[in-house]
């Protein structure tokens, strides 16, 4: 990794201290990811999927808490990446393998490994280029690994609810794991939503949209969460195709 790893957006070098508050959220995400693996080994695939979503929530909070409280550190950045590798790389891969990929033999565990390896590559690339001056903060390059994990977890959760098992289902899981892995290490751009000002005032309609978002999740979590991450997953390729068509017309 380059030395700019310890430099924040303001240009100030991060300290090497250990701050308790943001690391509590990072540890919670690591715990949830590890527990997802344990739950899958016990056949509790619904619980395993929920644990991955909880890890996503903890991951979304730790960085924001660190920025808002001024407790960013080089240790926190490294710890967060290692936690993400477990929660969004190893956990979804093993949950998917335990659910259906194991029925495909060698191809099954290779698909799971490809997903885990793509997560590691995605995290490494992000860490190297996070502070590049020419990086557009509005977009991620490649599918973010939490979104990839959310899509896999949502898919397994729905299949577990409807008891969708068998050769075709297992093959579809393997194919989707490979597709998601390719999207993570691709150059396809995805919205990061980092341009949203959390500290400033927002129109009332934005608050209403957030309220409806949480109500929708509460009404039917498996369907709504899977739909959200499925739409986000395809938004990158469709956005790239749309920009390509627009460029050809010009």
Q: Where are the domains of the chain?
A: 13-249
Question: Which tokens hold the place of 120?
Answer: 């590691």
Which CATH topology does 13-249 take?
Answer: 1.20.120
Averaged over 162-178, what is the pLDDT? 96
- In this model, does residue 13 exceed pLDDT 80? no
Contact 18, 73 (CB under 8 A): yes
Averaged over 124-148, what is the pLDDT? 86
Q: Cα angle at 184 between 148 and 2, to 5 degrees?
A: 120
pLDDT class of 138 with cuts at 50, 70, 90: confident
Q: What is the mean pLDDT of the chain?
A: 88
pLDDT for 134 equals 66
- What's the CA dihedral at 238, 243, 248, 250 to 10 degrees? 150
- In this model, does residue 8 exceed pLDDT 60? no
Question: Which tokens hold the place of 70?
Answer: 């001024």
pLDDT class of 186 with cuts at 50, 70, 90: very high
pTM: 0.88
């Amino acid at each position: 990794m380059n030395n700019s790893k310890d430099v924040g957006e303001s240009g100030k070098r991060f300290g090497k201290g250990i701050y308790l508050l943001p690391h509590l959220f990072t540890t919670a995400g690591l715990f949830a990811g590890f527990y997802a693996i344990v739950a899958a080994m016990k056949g509790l695939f619904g619980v395993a999927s929920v644990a991955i979503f909880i890890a996503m929530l903890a991951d979304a909070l730790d960085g924001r808490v660190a920025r808002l409280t001024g407790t960013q550190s080089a240790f926190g950045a490294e710890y967060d990446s290692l936690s993400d590798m477990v929660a969004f790389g190893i956990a979804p891969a093993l949950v998917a393998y335990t659910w259906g990929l194991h029925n495909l033999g060698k191809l099954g565990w290779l698909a799971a490994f490809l997903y885990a390896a793509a997560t590691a590559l995605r995290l490494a690339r992000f860490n190297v280029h996070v502070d590049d001056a020419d990086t557009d903060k509005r977009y991620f390059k490649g599918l973010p690994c939490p979104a990839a994990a959310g899509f896999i977890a949502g898919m397994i959760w729905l299949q577990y609810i409807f008891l969708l098992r068998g050769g075709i289902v297992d093959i579809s899981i393997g194919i989707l794991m490979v597709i998601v892995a390719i999207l993570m290490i691709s150059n396809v751009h995805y919205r990061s939503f980092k341009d949203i000002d959390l500290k400033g005032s927002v129109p009332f309609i934005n608050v209403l949209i957030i309220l409806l978002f949480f109500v929708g999740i509460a009404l039917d979590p498996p369907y709504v969460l899977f739909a959200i991450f499925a739409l986000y997953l395809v938004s990158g390729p469709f956005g790239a195709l749309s920009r390509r068509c627009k460029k050809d017309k010009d």
